[in-house]
Amino acid sequence: MHLSKAIVAAFFFVVLLGGTLAHGQLTPTFYDRTCPNVSSIISNVITETLVSDTRIGASLIRLHFHDCFVNGCDGSLLLDNTDTIESEKEANGNNNSARGFEVVDRMKALLESACPTTVSCADILAIAAEESVVLAGGPNWTVPLGRRDSTTASRDAANAFLPAPFFTLDQLRESFTNVSLNNNSDLVALSGAHTFGRAQCSTFVFRLYDFNGTGAPDSTIDPPFLEALQKLCPENGNGSVITDLDVTTADAFDSKYYSNLQCNRGLLQTDQELFSTPGADDVIALVNAFSANQTAFFESFVESMIRMGNISPLTGTEGEIRLNCRVVNANLAGPDSMLVSSI
């Protein structure tokens, strides 16, 4: 890492947090001595995976979002079911939709080989989110690091705190406020992650036929777009069929997402709510600003990603550095269990 870049990033991070580092220990230089190639290792795995899975970048950034929104950025989403853990993977917002776990496993295996017992699963998600954005043509930023991994998960908290695709703007605002994010600038900037990736018919089909019990489609959907979606997702059809979140540039990280909203071509209700909710002048102004100025979107997105990545991290001696992102160290069996006492 270039020294001047690290200093600037560290300063920027301090400013975001009002002059102090939350929990005192997240820093962009955390692995400079102990695992200097951590970002390149993660980036290489994403690059290799993109050859056969063009949506993996969007899937990985979604894992980071859904991890941070549930009791903070602690890697809890990655834990599998055990006798004592109800995995967050089976929460309503994740079940049969959150994906990319095998890719995270590959990253972790390579990092354990290069830098044993050093890089947390929570930090892997944070770095993977940034690298995914960069590889899709979006902005880069120096990720504050030093998170540790939880030893618990909470499916109930995931069900309570993850925003649902049918949320109104007021409900979205509440979701962001609940995790100490801004309910306008952070909400609109982070929603811009829907500039790439896919969504299943089940997440928006309710808009296409009987929206909110009206017996008619959502009136905010552009008619030709509605017709195309109805062909793709017939009523009572296969809810697992996927389509592009951004109908203009499906795999590029750019500002076209916001231009789509201006044309009433937001795929999810939660997308179009940002532009079509009456009286929502603050968020509508941001949609217009980001559509007109991609640089402004990128700058705001970076700021909001850093802020989100700082939601209640475990640091210092809290939590652990998992050897396997799916399992807490106390439940490991075999040769790896001998390493647990030193982490």
Q: In Å, how far are 65, 85, 325 from 328, measured between CA atoms?
A: 21, 10, 7
Asked whether residue 246 is marked as a ligand-binding residue, the answer is yes
Q: Going by CATH, does the domain composed of 37-197+245-310 fall within 1.10.420.10?
A: yes
Residue range 42-64, pLDDT digits in tens: 999 999 999 999 999 999 999 99
Looking at the predicted structure, is the pLDDT value of residue 10 above 80?
no
The catalytic site residues sit at 66
Domain residue limits, the chain: 37-197+245-310
pLDDT of residue 332: 82
Contacts 24+ apart (CB under 8 A), 10-15: 10/142, 10/144, 12/306, 13/144, 13/306, 13/310
Assign residue 142 a region: left if phi > 0, alpha if psi is -120 to 50, beta otherwise?
Answer: beta
List strand residue ranges (DSSP E) for the chain, in order: 198-200, 242-244
Residue located via tokens 């017939």: 234
Assign residue 79 a region: left if phi > 0, alpha if psi is -120 to 50, beta otherwise?
Answer: beta
Looking at the predicted structure, is the pLDDT value of residue 79 above 70?
yes
Closest CA to 28 of 55, 7, 45: 7
Residue range 300-317, pLDDT digits in tens: 999 999 999 999 999 999
Asked whether the beta carbons of 187 and 233 are under 8 A apart, the reply is: no
Asked whether residue 254 is marked as a ligand-binding residue, the answer is yes
pLDDT of residue 25: 80
Looking at the predicted structure, is the pLDDT value of residue 5 above 70?
no
Number of alpha carbons in the 13 Å side-chain half-sphere of residue 220: 22
pLDDT class for 6, splitting at 50, 70, 90? Answer: very low
Residue range 194-236, pLDDT digits in tens: 999 999 999 999 999 999 999 999 999 999 999 999 999 999 9
Closest CA to 325 of 61, 106, 158: 106
Task: Please tell me whether the overall predicted TM-score, pTM, comes out greater than 0.85 for this model.
Answer: yes
Looking at the predicted structure, is the pLDDT value of residue 334 above 90?
no
Asked whether residue 76 is marked as a ligand-binding residue, the answer is yes
How large a percentage of the chain has pLDDT more than 70? 90
